[in-house]
């Protein structure tokens, strides 16, 4: 009986995102019709372009980056901590890692390791500031991480100047950190047939982080404490969880993963932190964590979907359709997913209560009046 | 004298909630010009019934007639339109508005699109004089006392033209003198031909004001007393609780020599300077239950938190089995064998969204069978949850349902089962049977008795004096953060306890 129950709940769990995506397709179709485009054409163009091998590589690469970002956000979400600061954490971490990576020379695996560890530590440290403020001074992490994003921007802008930590990028008027030598680079993987383009080597790290995230949350005492705190702080306290320590630990972990967001780009393609290093990935992570319901596998699908939309939209400009249409689509997907999940959550609760009601149907017969009502239809 | 059409008639009302039948076949007839009292224990289904009558809930079965006409309420506005008004136990007034503004709020008289306060003032004055409900119409509500606020609530209802008033536990917040004033007002109201439905569990008050009394027990109407003079408060109480009510009692003493829990000079001063615990000292031996009686808010919650390590006392020590645990964390104390049934199960003892087997781990997530080193032992936890569900008769279709799907009694049985597992040395039980049905209550008492016989030391805090007297080996009273009096539960009466709880009879 349990198996059937489980199959049912899997179907229900899948229903929410599928319905949400369908709903946003409808919304976007209406928008497209309103601006005079044929939605069917637009979608088929996106799918056609998005399934080309070269684009598939781009999608995987985007998804790798998004995945780190979304897991970082999800760790906070699991404890009701809103780490808006993933953005500042990964930029500062990537910058510091680029500086360290460009200034040392070590054998290949060690060089990469030092860069990654630097990124993780800097990301954790930057999140740690917000964690300590929240745990010991009661400062909302929402406010402090937003502030820290701005401070990170300022710090990087100050240090990334010629004469400080920046050098001119050859053949352009861009400036960036000293390039990381080949020993500190992570080679790509040519795993998609039909194209020369390579998938980031750190995509493997993303898979490992995803597994680690799932394992930590669902299989360890620490993860149980973390989830318990997220579900009910007062119950967690009575169960013996030290809330302050949990806040600090969760934020540090979130920041550590955030530190990895910039790594695929840094170690896989740009090899230096320059003025045009991608920004704003932390906010994308928030949307994808919501989409994936903080679930390791769900986030992977969310990241792939996001990567698909971002990259396949590039064709639209050529077709005369504004590619910003995809931003609307992403927005409606997130909104409708959040609503769909809430509806499903309520439905599930009612369903469970109904089942429990059946299981407890007899005991309501206990007590006065039971005798004379015996045999009455239930 | 009741041959006329009743002004309110509820027949065959049944209301089911998931896992519980809140009302079953309820029948009530209230006459115009009468005060009709509805009495019953907490959780007997009074509030559900009144919410049905006021249109907040819809009955699954049964009919409502008002003045002989069948009605069906989709919302309170329908009920108000039918002349039914409700005065809630907790006032719903805007503090920064005047009495006048509060009364008209939501039913503002307008003239040419503008508020017409003069017309409203006249009507309010007229109503208040007619029914003897004197209040200053221009006073701010925040400046009024509790009794005045209640009069404003009643005025509000009358202003909307109610002919049938529901008063939900109206005396709970009043001092005796205000109760008398309220009852005078109620007599005026019924003298004017209004129907008053008066919900209470204070039997003496009910007997003094009601013309008829309906007793509700476990969701259904047990009887209606047509002449209150014909019954005593004791008889009413027996009707309320039923004769098969389990009696909390201990058999022979199982107290051993070994002291398990000692609190020494526990004092807690809050940052705002209030002292909520003052030099609390007690010790509990193996196989002994120490009951702490007290009016809620006299430091019981803080004492429990200090013993559990949730809150650090300003001074004083806690010893567990001879070891000083004053600086231990809650987790260390739990691992050392301190079990805990918190006062508020949905807030402090359960993860409502999590499945039962995860809830079984809560508070014991570092101990066998739930953990293996730093990892969770899911199989062990699930198997042990099955055992608890079986042994403690937790009624649930599966251990995979969320805790919120269970009824209160079943939730509590799961908590008790969880806390009794793992051979605890000391149990801190705050209101262990609060809000659970009679069957679950008896089962929980039995489990505590068995554990006591096996050597468990129990700190029992309860608002239920019968439970305290029946289940304790020793009794002490907490008043304003101090333990003020010790009693032998075999000799003490609830009256003696009650007066100690209110600080009467204490020289200090």
User: Which two three-digit tokens encode residue B30?
Assistant: 């209230």
Question: Mean pLDDT across the stretch A188-207?
Answer: 92
Nearest-angstrom CA–CA distance, B424 and B427: 7
Tell me: do A18 and A87 sit in the same domain.
no
Please state which of the ranges A207-216, B54-63, B108-117 shows the lowest mean pLDDT. Answer: B108-117
Nearest CA among B133, B181, B165, B131 for reference residue B32: B165
Q: For position B251, what pLDDT does the model report?
A: 67
Per CB-CB distance under 8 Å, the chain A contacts of B361 are: 224
Nearest-angstrom CA–CA distance, B220 and B198: 17
Tell me: do A159 and A203 sit in the same domain.
yes
Name the DSSP letter for residue B194. -
Considering only alpha carbons, which residue of chain B is nearest residue A346? Answer: B353
Per CB-CB distance under 8 Å, the chain A contacts of B310 are: 237-238
Please state which of the ranges A7-16, A150-159, A296-305, B186-195 shows the lowest mean pLDDT. Answer: A7-16
Tell me: do A153 and A269 sit in the same domain.
yes
Strands (DSSP E) along B40-98, which ranges?
61-66, 69-71, 84-87
Residues 6+ apart with CB under 8 A from A316: A42, A45, A46, A322, A323, A325, A326
Burial of A15 (0-12, 13-18, 19+ CB in 10 A): middle
Determine, for residues A219 and B395 on separate chains, whether the beta-carbon distance falls below 8 Å: no
Model confidence at B5, in pLDDT bands (50, 70, 90)? confident
CATH of B8-241, one of 3.40.50.150, 3.40.50.970, 3.40.50.300, 3.40.1050.10: 3.40.50.300
**Phi, psi angles (nearest 5°) of residue B255:** -65, 130
Determine, for residues B404 and A240 on separate chains, whether the beta-carbon distance falls below 8 Å: no
**Phi, psi angles (nearest 5°) of residue A190:** -85, 75
Residue spans per domain, chain B? 8-241, 246-337+424-508, 347-423
Nearest-angstrom CA–CA distance, A140 and A133: 8
For strands B315-320 and B323-324, give the pairing.
antiparallel
Instruction: For residue B369, say if its preceding peptide bond is cis, omega within 30 degrees of 0.
Output: yes
* Segment holding B341, helix H or strand E: strand B338-341
Tell me: do A238 and A253 sit in the same domain.
yes
Look up tokens 């526990």; give the residue. Answer: B266
Model confidence at A365, in pLDDT bands (50, 70, 90)? very low
User: Which two three-digit tokens encode residue A44?
Assistant: 């088929």
* Any domain includes A286: yes
Nearest-angstrom CA–CA distance, B405 and B379: 22
Nearest-angstrom CA–CA distance, A247 and A268: 33
Model confidence at A372, in pLDDT bands (50, 70, 90)? very low
More confident residue, A3 or B33: B33
- Torsion of the alpha carbons at B493, B495, B497 and B500, rounded to the nearest 10: -140
**Phi, psi angles (nearest 5°) of residue B67:** 50, 40
For strands B259-269 and B315-320, give the pairing.
antiparallel
Nearest CA among B340, B313, B341, B339 for reference residue B327: B313
CA-based diameter of chain B, in Å? 83
DSSP helix/strand/coil, A154: helix
Nearest-angstrom CA–CA distance, A254 and B98: 51
Q: What is the pLDDT of residues A25-44, one digit of tens each?
A: 898 899 889 988 888 988 99
Tell me the β-bridge partners of B166: B86, B197
pLDDT at B218 over 60: yes
Per CB-CB distance under 8 Å, the chain A contacts of B437 are: 363, 366-367
Considering only alpha carbons, which residue of chain A is nearest residue B16? Answer: A357
Determine, for residues A360 and B363 on separate chains, whether the beta-carbon distance falls below 8 Å: no
Cβ atoms of B472 and B453 closer than 8 Å: no
Q: What is the pLDDT of residues B267-308, one digit of tens each?
A: 999 888 888 999 999 999 999 999 998 877 788 899 999 999
Model confidence at A16, in pLDDT bands (50, 70, 90)? confident
CA distance A159 to chain B (A): 42
User: Which two three-digit tokens encode residue A48?
Assistant: 């056609």
A238 → closest Cβ in B18, B340, B352: B340
Q: What does pTM read for this prediction?
A: 0.76
Q: Does A5 touch chain B (CB under 8 A)?
A: yes
Tell me: do A24 and A100 sit in the same domain.
no
User: Which two three-digit tokens encode residue A200?
Assistant: 């980031």
Nearest-angstrom CA–CA distance, B312 and B308: 9
Tell me the β-bridge partners of B479: B482
* Any domain includes A261: yes
* Any domain includes A375: no
Q: What Å distances lie between residue B77 and A363, B53, B198, CA to CA?
A: 36, 12, 21
Q: What is the pLDDT of residues B55-78, one digit of tens each?
A: 888 888 899 999 888 998 888 888
Question: Mean pLDDT across the stretch B312-318?
Answer: 93
Residues 6+ apart with CB under 8 A from B11: B27, B62, B63, B65
pLDDT at A130 over 90: yes
Cβ atoms of B236 and B39 closer than 8 Å: yes
Tell me: do A156 and A242 sit in the same domain.
yes
Query: How many CB atoms are closer than 10 A to CB A277?
Result: 20
Nearest-angstrom CA–CA distance, A103 and A263: 17
Average pLDDT, chain B: 86
* Any domain includes A365: no
Provide the CA B477 distance to its chain's centre, in angstroms: 20
Per CB-CB distance under 8 Å, the chain A contacts of B217 are: 367-368
Determine, for residues A359 and B366 on separate chains, whether the beta-carbon distance falls below 8 Å: no
The total of structural domains in chain A comes to: 2
Percent of chain B past pLDDT 90, that is, above it, reads: 32
Determine, for residues B351 and A235 on separate chains, whether the beta-carbon distance falls below 8 Å: yes
Which of B395, B411, B431 to probe by mutation at the A interface, max A CB count within 10 Å? Answer: B395
Nearest-angstrom CA–CA distance, B208 and B335: 53
Look up tokens 């009466």; give the residue. Answer: B493
Nearest-angstrom CA–CA distance, B386 and B355: 12
- In terms of residue numbers, what domain contains A334? 1-37+326-354
Residues 6+ apart with CB under 8 A from B439: A363, A366, A367, B409
Tell me: do A145 and A284 sit in the same domain.
yes
Tell me: do A348 and A261 sit in the same domain.
no
Q: For position A362, what pLDDT does the model report?
A: 41
Number of helical H runs and strand E runs in chain A: 15, 2
Q: What Å distances lie between residue B410 and A347, A357, B47, B357, B437, CA to CA?
A: 22, 11, 21, 14, 9
Tell me, what CATH number does A109's domain have? 1.10.3470
* Any domain includes A262: yes
Q: For position B42, what pLDDT does the model report?
A: 61
More confident residue, A204 or A195: A204
Question: Mean pLDDT across the stretch B10-28?
Answer: 80
Interface contacts A/B by beta carbons within 8 Å:
149
Domains B8-241 and B246-337+424-508 agree in fold? yes
* Any domain includes A242: yes
Look up tokens 């060089």; give the residue. Answer: A111
* Segment holding B457, helix H or strand E: strand B457-461
Q: Is the dihedral of CA B148, B150, B156, B159 positive or negative?
A: negative
Tell me the β-bridge partners of B221: B216
Q: Is the dihedral of CA B348, B349, B353, B358 positive or negative?
A: positive
Per CB-CB distance under 8 Å, the chain A contacts of B41 are: none
Nearest-angstrom CA–CA distance, B456 and B453: 7
Cβ atoms of A192 and A57 closer than 8 Å: yes
Considering only alpha carbons, which residue of chain B is nearest residue A345? Answer: B353
More confident residue, B440 or B189: B189
Nearest-angstrom CA–CA distance, B436 and B441: 6
**Residue-by-residue DSSP string for A295-310:** -HHHHHHHHHHHHHHH
Nearest CA among A32, A49, A12, A6 for reference residue A308: A49
A221 → closest Cβ in B16, B348, B374: B374
Residues 6+ apart with CB under 8 A from B427: B339, B340, B341, B419, B420, B448, B451, B456, B457, B458, B459
Tell me the β-bridge partners of B262: B283, B319
Considering only alpha carbons, which residue of chain A is nearest residue B304? Answer: A238
**Phi, psi angles (nearest 5°) of residue A172:** -155, 175
Determine, for residues A241 and B402 on separate chains, whether the beta-carbon distance falls below 8 Å: no
DSSP helix/strand/coil, B93: coil
Per CB-CB distance under 8 Å, the chain B contacts of A369 are: 24-25, 218, 220, 222
**Residue-by-residue DSSP string for B316-357:** EEEEETTEE-TT--HHHHHHTTEEEE-S-IIIII--TTSBHH
More confident residue, B322 or A222: A222
Model confidence at B203, in pLDDT bands (50, 70, 90)? confident
Tell me: do A72 and A136 sit in the same domain.
yes
CA distance A238 to chain B (A): 6
Entry field: residues in chain A:
378
Nearest CA among A130, A65, A123, A60 for reference residue A94: A123
Considering only alpha carbons, which residue of chain A is nearest residue B438? Answer: A367
CA-based diameter of chain A, in Å? 95
CATH number of B246-337+424-508: 3.40.50.300
Residues 6+ apart with CB under 8 A from B280: B263, B265, B266, B267, B299, B303, B316, B478, B481, B482, B483
ipTM: 0.84
CA distance A225 to chain B (A): 8
Nearest-angstrom CA–CA distance, A276 and A75: 28
Please state which of the ranges A88-97, B169-178, B369-378, B407-416 shows the lowest mean pLDDT. Answer: B169-178
* Any domain includes A295: yes
Q: What is the pLDDT of residues B477-493, one digit of tens each?
A: 998 899 998 999 888 87
Determine, for residues A368 and B362 on separate chains, whether the beta-carbon distance falls below 8 Å: no
Please state which of the ranges A3-12, A127-136, B405-414 shows the lowest mean pLDDT. Answer: A3-12
Question: Mean pLDDT across the stretch A332-341?
Answer: 86
Q: Provide the b/e sequence for B360-398 (b: ≥16 CB within 10 Å).
A: bbbbbbbeebbbeeeebbeebbbebbeebbeebebbbbb
Q: For position B506, what pLDDT does the model report?
A: 45
Question: Mean pLDDT across the stretch A213-237?
Answer: 95
Nearest-angstrom CA–CA distance, B280 and A215: 45
Which of A216, A221, A241, A377 to probe by mutation at the B interface, max B CB count within 10 Å? Answer: A221
* Any domain includes A344: yes
Tell me the β-bridge partners of A349: none
Model confidence at B247, in pLDDT bands (50, 70, 90)? low
Q: Give 3-state DSSP helix, strand, coil % of chain B, rounded to 5.
A: 35, 25, 40
């Amino acid at each position: 009986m349990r198996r059937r129950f489980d199959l049912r709940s899997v179907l229900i769990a899948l229903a929410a995102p599928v319905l949400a995506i369908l709903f946003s397709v409808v919304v976007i179709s209406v928008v497209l019709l309103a601006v005079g485009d044929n939605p069917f054409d637009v979608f088929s163009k996106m799918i056609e372009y998005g399934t080309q091998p070269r684009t598939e590589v781009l999608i995987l690469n985007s998804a790798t980056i998004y995945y780190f970002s979304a897991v970082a956000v999800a760790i906070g979400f699991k404890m009701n901590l809103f780490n808006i600061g993933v953005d500042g954490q990964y930029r500062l971490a990537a910058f510091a890692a680029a500086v360290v990576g460009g200034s040392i020379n070590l054998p290949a695996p060690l060089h990469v390791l030092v860069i990654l560890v630097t990124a993780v530590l800097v990301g954790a440290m930057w999140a740690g500031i917000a964690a300590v403020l929240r745990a010991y001074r009661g400062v909302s992490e929402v406010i402090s991480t937003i502030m820290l994003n701005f401070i990170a921007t300022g710090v990087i802008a100050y240090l990334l100047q010629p004469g400080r930590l920046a050098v001119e990028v050859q053949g352009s008027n861009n400036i960036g950190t000293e390039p990381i030598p080949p020993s500190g680079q992570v080679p790509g993987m040519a795993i998609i047939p039909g194209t020369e383009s390579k998938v980031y080597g750190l995509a493997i790290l993303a898979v490992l982080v995803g597994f680690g995230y799932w394992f930590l949350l669902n299989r360890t005492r620490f993860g149980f404490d973390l989830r318990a705190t997220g579900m009910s702080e007062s119950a967690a306290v009575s169960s013996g969880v030290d809330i302050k320590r949990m806040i600090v630990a969760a934020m540090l972990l979130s920041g550590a993963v955030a530190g990895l967001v910039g790594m695929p780009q840094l170690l896989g393609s740009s090899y230096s932190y320059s003025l045009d290093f991608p920004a704003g990935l932390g906010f994308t992570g928030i949307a994808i964590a919501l989409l994936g319901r903080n679930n390791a596998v769900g986030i992977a699908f969310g990241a792939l979907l996001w990567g698909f939309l971002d990259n396949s939209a590039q064709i639209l400009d050529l077709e005369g359709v504004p590619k910003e249409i995809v931003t609307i689509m992403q927005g409606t997907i997130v909104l409708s997913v959040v609503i769909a999940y809430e509806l499903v959550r309520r439905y599930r609760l009612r369903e469970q209560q109904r089942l429990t009601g059946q299981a407890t149907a007899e005991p309501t017969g206990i007590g006065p009046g039971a005798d004379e009502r015996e045999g009455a239809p239930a | 004298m009741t041959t006329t059409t009743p002004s309110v008639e509820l027949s065959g009302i049944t209301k089911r909630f998931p896992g519980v039948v809140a009302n079953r076949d309820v029948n009530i007839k209230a006459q115009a010009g009468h005060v009709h009292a509805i009495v019953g224990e907490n959780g007997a289904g009074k509030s559900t019934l009144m919410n049905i009558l006021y249109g907040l809930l819809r009955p699954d079965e049964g009919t409502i007639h008002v003045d002989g006409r069948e009605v069906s309420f989709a919302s309170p506005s329908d009920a108000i339109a039918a002349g039914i008004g409700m005065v809630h136990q907790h006032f719903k007034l805007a503090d920064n508005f005047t009495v006048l503004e509060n009364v008209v709020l939501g039913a503002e008289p307008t003239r040419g699109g503008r508020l017409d306060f003069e017309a409203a003032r006249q009507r309010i004055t007229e109503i208040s004089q007619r029914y003897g409900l004197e209040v200053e119409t221009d006073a701010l509500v925040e400046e009024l006392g509790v009794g005045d606020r209640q009069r404003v609530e009643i005025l509000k209802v009358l202003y909307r033209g109610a002919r049938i008033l529901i008063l939900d536990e109206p005396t709970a917040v009043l001092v005796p003198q205000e109760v008398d004033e309220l009852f005078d007002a109620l007599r005026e109201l019924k003298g004017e031909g209004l129907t008053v439905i008066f919900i209470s569990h204070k039997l003496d008050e009910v007997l003094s004001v009601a013309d008829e009394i309906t007793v509700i027990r476990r969701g259904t109407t047990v009887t209606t007393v047509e002449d209150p003079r014909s019954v005593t408060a004791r008889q009413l109480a027996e009707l309320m609780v039923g004769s098969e009510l389990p009696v909390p009692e201990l058999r022979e003493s199982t107290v051993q020599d070994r002291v398990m829990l000692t609190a020494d000079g526990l004092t807690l001063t809050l940052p705002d300077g209030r002292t909520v615990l003052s030099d609390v000292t007690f010790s509990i031996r193996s196989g002994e239950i120490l009951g702490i009686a007290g009016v809620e808010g006299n430091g019981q919650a803080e004492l429990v938190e200090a013993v559990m390590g949730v809150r650090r006392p300003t001074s004083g020590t806690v010893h567990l089995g001879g070891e000083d645990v004053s600086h231990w964390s809650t987790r260390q104390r739990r691992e050392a064998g301190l079990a805990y049934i918190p006062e508020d199960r949905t807030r402090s003892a359960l993860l409502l969204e999590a499945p039962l087997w995860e809830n079984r781990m809560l508070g014991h997530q570092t101990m066998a069978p739930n953990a293996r080193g730093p990892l969770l032992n899911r199989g062990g936890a699930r198997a042990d949850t099955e055992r608890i569900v079986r042994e403690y008769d937790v009624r649930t279709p599966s251990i995979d349902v969320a805790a919120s799907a269970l009824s209160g009694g079943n939730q509590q049985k799961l908590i008790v089962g969880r806390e009794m597992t793992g051979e605890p040395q000391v149990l801190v039980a705050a209101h262990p049977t609060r809000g659970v049905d009679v069957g679950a209550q008896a089962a929980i008492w039995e489990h505590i008795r068995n554990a006591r016989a096996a050597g468990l030391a129990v700190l029992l805090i309860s608002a239920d004096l019968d439970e305290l007297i029946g289940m304790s080996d020793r009794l002490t009273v907490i008043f304003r953060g101090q333990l003020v009096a010790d009693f032998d539960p075999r000799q003490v009466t609830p009256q003696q306890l009650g007066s100690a709880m209110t600080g009467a009879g204490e020289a200090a």
